[in-house]
Structure formats: structure tokens, C-alpha cells
Amino acid sequence: MEIILKTDIAGLGYKNDVVTVKPGYGRNYLIPQGFAVMATPSNKKILAENIKQIAHKLEKIKLDAQTLSDSIGELALEIAAKVGESGKIFGRVTTLQISEALKEKGFEVDRKKISLDSEVKFVGEYAATLDLHKDVKHKVKFTVVAD
């Protein structure tokens, strides 16, 4: 079943993408929730016209994301966490903590656009991926230190 996404959906696609999904997923979840519409020929024509009209807006959004990525550059963050004797942290380092650390440095990134590359269980260096735009991804390194 082909559908046109109305919003970005992690693991599936971005807004205005035409994707193929299983019929039940499309009919029972994506379409009723307002996340997608059927990819009929008329909806595809409407999509093409809308894409033409907002192409310059999308280019500006992409340029802003690229500028943010360039300004973050090779920034290294430091996240403090409570640590046991063996170096294992209590709790977990989350995307919210990374988002707040970026905010302290002057960069506004939504926590939902951050994904950790690996589980953070011990003190040390890790990396996270910032999904700033569908064409702009940026790796940021962070160090977990004892609090």
C-alpha cells in the first residue's frame, strides 16, 4: 500500500515522502491518526504542486540546519552522572541531558532529534547523532564523567 506521509515518522520517512507500508499499518494507524494519506493519482498531483510551491522554504530550512551543524562542529560535551565504584553509572544518560548540554553551549536542538549511537552504561566517551534535517545529520561527541 502506497501512502504519502504528512509528518516525519522515525524509521519510516519524512514529510511528503511516498512510502510503501503494509495495508493494516496504513489503514488502521497512519491514516486515522492523520500521519498519512492514500497515494492516489490525484493526491500525488497535489503533492507535486505543493512541493513546487514550498521548495524555496525547504531550501532555507535545510540551509539553517546545515548552518547549525557547521556551528556545532567538533563540539565536545560533558555530561555528569552519578557513578558507582566500578565506573558504572546509576540510571541512564538520555537525549534530554544531551539536549540540555547543547542548550548550555547555545545550540537549540530538540531531544527527539537526538539518538544515541550506543547504550551509555559506563564513564567514558560516546557519540550521538543529531537529525537536524532529512539531508543533514551531525555526530556530536560527549563524555560521561563522575558527578
Full DSSP string of the chain:
-EEEESS-BTTTB-TT-EEE--HHHIIIIIHHHTSEEE--HHHHHHHHHHHHHHHHHHHHHHHHHHHHHHHHTT-EEEEEE-B-TTSBBSS---HHHHHHHHHHTT----GGGEEESS---BSEEEEEEEEEETTEEEEEEEEEEE-
Q: How far apart, in Å, are the Cα atoms of 16 and each of 4, 39, 50, 83, 139?
A: 6, 11, 9, 45, 26
Which residue's entry shows cell 558527578?
Answer: 147
pLDDT tens profile 43-91: 999 999 988 888 888 888 899 999 988 988 888 899 998 998 888 898 8
What span, in angstroms and rounded, lies between the C-alpha atoms of 118 and 101? 18
- Is the whole-model pTM more than 0.75? no
pLDDT bucket at 135, cuts 50 / 70 / 90? confident
